Amino acid sequence: MNEKYGGENMTLAQSDPEIWNFYQKEWRRQEEGLELIPSENYASRDVMDAAGGIFTNKYAEGYPKKRYYGGNEWIDEVELLAIERSKKLFGVPFSNVQSHAGSQANMAAYFALLQPGDTVMGLNLSQGGHLTHGSPVNFSGKLYKVAAFNVDPETHLLDYDEIARQAEAHKPKMMIAGFTAYPRQVDFGKFAKIAKSVNAKLMADMSHVAGLIAGGAHPSPTGHADVITSTTHKTLRGPRGAFILSPSEETAKLIDKAVFPGLQGGPLENMIMAKAVAFHEAAKPEFKTYARQIVKNAKALAAALMDLNFVLVSGGTDTHLILIDLRNRNMTGKEAQLALDAAGITANKNTIPNDPQSPFITSGLRLGTPALTTRGMKEKEMAMVAHWMDEVLKSPSDEQVRAKVKEEIRRMTAEFPIYPGLIKN
Ligand code: DSN
């Protein structure tokens, strides 16, 4: 089968060649490069077909069977399926699948469970937390008091005793167990115990590891958290979007009200359909194999990098994510990201714990294996990736090295097409 991505019906090439040109360029970048950003992935064609399908055309303010617009009989069925599938996948009795993005899902959880001015406690953004976990530049830091905790300065691991001490001192109304640059498993049970000891709610933001949890490769917050938020597009490999799981009817009602009419109007039913497809895919046995391989690949990549004298925050990984401390290479995260980009390797600069550099420069580089694993790459390819990274970062401004590595990557990635059967022009 030789068809353009978007299917044989895509007429954009003729109707809007200016846009089509950039579409093709981005597709080529994705096909021919190594995608190592841990929060990115390649959604299946079914997910993309759903996301780009006719559900785009429909307004559906409200919830299934309680809409403010007519004509929603089939939209309702699909949203109900998305709800049922997400509940089953994570073993939780209530789900809201309408949040447009992770930040909105987190905002809904705050609005549902807190009052402005209440204290929240999560990991510092600069140490691996998230903007919405209390950063002063975000709504979470502006509307709520924040008592952030740090990772242990030596081991870079979560220090649950220290977190408990801080919870005791600050008495937060809500604790947040959620991470964007923490390479180790999280003990949601310990977080729940700490939250309970100070009468706080526990919000688990499982965005990064949702796919690992669905595939049984990371412990689940189910049974521990008072509310669980997640994006759908990271390890879970769905469309861009989010959902919120609640363990009780009382919380679910508050969440539903916070999402609509609290924060959003019309839900993106095309994206909800795509979420339903992704939940269905994640429930299949092969998704378990995929999730386990993500972690195997991350461990293999971490080991190969350490063999090449890269220093890793926390000394390794047990998830999909690796955080490199570049200081022994006399290089910043910004420089490394730019050099790798030029060689066809996409990663992102990231602060390391107690980073001496600003968040825009950083001393760290964040990597992840979900996207490469989706392409079918295994441990052998991870060793090649580490070698290419080493080669480029040893001579970061050598254009010949970059070009040579880029060509080698182009040849290797051609063996792992993202969408087999599709051509690029
Ligand atoms: N921006 C996401 C990430 O890259 O981790 C978190 O929202």
Closest CA to 103 of 272, 242, 260: 242
- Same domain? 79 vs 197: yes
Are residue 329 and residue 353 in the same domain, yes or no?
yes
Ligand 1 site residues, Cβ closer than 6 angstroms: 39, 102, 130, 180
Distance 38 CA to ligand 1 centre (A): 8
Distance 85 CA to ligand 1 centre (A): 24
Choose the final residue of a domain: 282, 305, 320. Answer: 282
Domain contains 240: yes
Give the residue whose CA is nearest to atom 4 of ligand 1. Answer: 39
Q: Which residue has the tokens 């990115």?
A: 40
pTM: 0.96
Report which protein residue has its CA nearest ligand 1's atom 1: 39
Q: Which atom of ligand 1 is nearest to the CA of 37?
A: 4
For residue 6, is it within any domain? no
Has residue 11 been placed in a domain? Answer: no
Do residues 149 and 205 share a domain?
yes
Instruction: Please indicate, yes or no, whether residues 272 and 308 belong to a single structural domain of this protein.
Output: no
CA distance 413 to 24: 17
Domain count, the chain: 2
Instruction: From the CA of 132, give the closest atom in ligand 1.
Output: 7
The answer to the question of residue 292 being in a domain is yes
Residue 208 CA: which ligand 1 atom is closest? 5
In a domain, 122, yes or no: yes
SS (H, E, C) the chain: CCEECCCCCCCHHHHCHHHHHHHHHHHHHHHHCEECCCCCCCCCHHHHHHHCCHHHHCCCCEECCEECCCCCHHHHHHHHHHHHHHHHHHCCCEEECCCCCHHHHHHHHHHHHCCCCCEEECECHHHCCCHHHCCCCCHHHHHCEECCECCCCCCCCCCHHHHHHHHHHHCCCEEEEECCCCCCCCCHHHHHHHHHHCCCEEEEECCCCHHHHHCCCCCCCCCCCCEEEEECCCCCCCCCCEEEEECCHHHHHHHHHHHHHHHCCCCCHHHHHHHHHHHHHHCCHHHHHHHHHHHHHHHHHHHHHHHCCCEEHHHCCCCCEEEEEHHHHCCCHHHHHHHHHHCCEECEEECCCCCCCCCCCCCEEEEECHHHHHCCCCHHHHHHHHHHHHHHHHCCCCHHHHHHHHHHHHHHHHCCCCCCCEECC
Low-confidence ranges of the chain (pLDDT < 50): 1-3, 6-8, 425
Atom of ligand 1 nearest to the CA of 40: 4
Supply the residues annotated as catalytic: 59, 61, 205, 231, 234, 240
Q: Quick one: 217 and 194 in the same domain?
A: yes
Mutate-to-test residue for ligand 1 from 36, 37, 39, highest number of ligand atoms within 8 A of CB: 39
The answer to whether residues 277 and 290 belong to one domain is: no
Question: What CATH number is given to the structural domain containing 292?
Answer: 3.90.1150.10
- The pLDDT assigned to 239 comes to 98
- Among 282, 306, 323, where does a domain finish? 282
| Distance from residue 93's CA to the centre of ligand 1 (Å) | 27
Ligand 1 centroid to Cα of residue 45, in Å, is 23
Q: Tell me, what's the pLDDT at 54?
A: 97
Atom of ligand 1 nearest to the CA of 231: 7
Half-sphere exposure (Cβ direction) of 384: Cα atoms closer than 13 Å: 16
Q: What spacing in Å lies between the alpha carbon of 180 and ligand 1's midpoint?
A: 6
Whether 1 is covered by a domain: the verdict is no
* Domain final position from 240, 259, 282: 282
The parent domain of residue 238 ranges over 50-282
Residue 8 has a pLDDT of: 46
Tell whether 217 and 244 lie within a shared domain: yes
Asked if residue 64 is part of any domain, the answer here is: yes
Give residue-wise pLDDT tens across range 369-417: 999 999 999 999 999 999 999 999 999 999 999 999 999 999 999 999 9
In this structure, the residue with its CA closest to atom 2 of ligand 1 is 39
The residue whose CA has the least distance to atom 6 of ligand 1 is 180
Compute the distance from residue 394 Cα to the ligand 1 centre, in Å. 28
CA of residue 39 to ligand 1 center, whole Å = 6
Q: What is the CATH number of the domain that holds 260?
A: 3.40.640.10
Judgement on whether residues 69 and 204 belong to the same structural domain of the protein: yes
Alpha carbon nearest to ligand 1 atom 5, residue:
180
Q: Which residue has its alpha carbon closest to ligand 1 atom 3?
A: 39
- Is position 59 within any domain? yes
Per-residue pLDDT at 9: 52
